[in-house]
Amino acid sequence: MPKVDYDCLLAELRFAYSRSSGKGGQNVNKVSTKAELSFHVQFSDCLTEEQKKLISEKLASRINEKGVLKIQSSEARSQSVNKDLAIKKFKLLIQKALHVPKKRLPTAQPAEANEERLSQKRKTSLLKKSRQKNIDG
pLDDT digits (tens, 9 = 90+) for 10-39: 898 899 988 877 666 677 777 888 899 999
pTM: 0.69
| Angstrom distances, CA of residue 15 to CA of 11, 73, 75, 126 | 11, 11, 16, 75
Q: Is 133 left (phi over 0), alpha (psi -120 to 50) or beta?
A: beta
CATH number of 6-98: 3.40.50.720, 3.40.50.300, 3.90.1150.10, 3.30.160.20?
A: 3.30.160.20
Any idea what the Cα angle at residue 10 is, between residues 69 and 2, rounded to 5°?
85
pLDDT of residue 85: 94
Distance CA 63, CA 61 (A): 6
Question: Could you report the per-residue pLDDT of 42-95, keeping only the tens digit for each?
Answer: 888 888 899 889 889 998 998 898 989 999 998 888 889 999 999 999 999 999
Measured in whole angstroms, how far is the alpha carbon of residue 127 from the centre of its chain? 51
Spans of all domains in the chain: 6-98
